[in-house]
Amino acid sequence: MPSSPSSSAQAARQRLAEQLRDMRKAAGLSGRDFAALAGWADATNVTKIEKAQRTITSENVRLWCRVCGVSDDRLGELLIEQRNLAQMWQSLRDHQGFGLNAVQKMTIGDMFSRVSSACTYQTKVIPGLLQTEEYMTEVLRGVRRDRQLVTDDVAEAVAVRMARQENLRRAGVRFWFLLEEAVLRYRYTSAEVHHRQLEHLKGVTRLPAVYAVAIIPGSIDRRNIRVRESFEIYAFPEGETISQVELLTGLLTLTTIEDVAMYGRIWDELMTISATGRAAHDLIDAAIRGLEG
């Protein structure tokens, strides 16, 4: 069974924490000795950082290297590892003082204008690139409320995201979208807005860069292929491929060959039980009838 999406980030945190602990022990320092040299009242911070129970910052790495007296080369190696770890996991808790647009720039940036292909699997909401403006507005209002974001820039954030949908008309790019059928029925808006969103979903397959909009029927036998967390797989012209998984507390970016391959296999499995073309439209039509009934 594949590991959880956060396991790679946790393993990376653990590896870095263990290196800091080993460095301290090699210097002949107890936790209390280190804390005293660091100017801390007790060893609580030492324990939490070395057990990966607290975020390891670049300042922490510099402190451990200074107190333990390691070389500048070793400091440089550990700072690179810490930076890679910070890029892997972006906590949404750290963004509460910003608005939706600023958070999007920090986590996604201009990703869609740079990809050569993208696969999006969604279990909760219509993917952003396929949303109507009014549906997107209601979804982002909910996101702002859930994340307790201070700045109200929903209108600006919607405008930026709607402009991003021009990538669906970009030549030489392919976008695949895979939705669980339940997504078609989750109501974040009025029935009228939701109805228009579903009609729009049927039309996006005509856009040049949209290779497929596939839907996994809710009634299908899933004994061997279970529902996963929502994720994306992005490929770039220079050959890099990454996977991103948005969890409740943050955004996980996976770059190793093994992690990306795992999500590629999951994607292939899910696609084998999905409906496309006319069959997908039939599922959307059924969701529309459910609104009307």
Q: What is the per-residue pLDDT for 1?
A: 42
The string of pLDDT tens digits covering residues 176-192 is: 999 999 999 999 999 99
State pLDDT tens for residues 104-136.
554 455 678 889 999 999 999 999 999 999 999
The residues that bridge with 214 in the sheet, in sequence order, are 178
Query: What's the number of CA atoms in the CB half-sphere (13 Å) around residue 93?
Result: 6
- Arithmetic mean of pLDDT, 33-59: 91
The rounded percent of the chain whose pLDDT value lies above 70 is: 88
Q: Who wins on pLDDT, 105 or 273?
A: 273
Instruction: Report the candidate in 131, 128, 85, 130 with the shortest Cα–Cα distance to residue 108.
Output: 128
Distance CA 3, CA 124 (A): 21
Q: Output the pLDDT for position 119.
A: 97
Which DSSP category does 181 fall into? G
Query: What is this structure's pTM?
Result: 0.73
Domains of the chain by range and CATH?
7-90 (1.10.260.40), 103-130+167-292 (3.30.870)
Q: How many residues does the chain have?
A: 293
Paired strand residues for 234: 118, 242
For the ranges 1-5, 57-61, 245-249, the lowest mean pLDDT is seen at 1-5
Distance set, CA 57 to CA 17, 80, 121 (Å): 11, 11, 32
Cβ atoms of 284 and 215 closer than 8 Å: yes
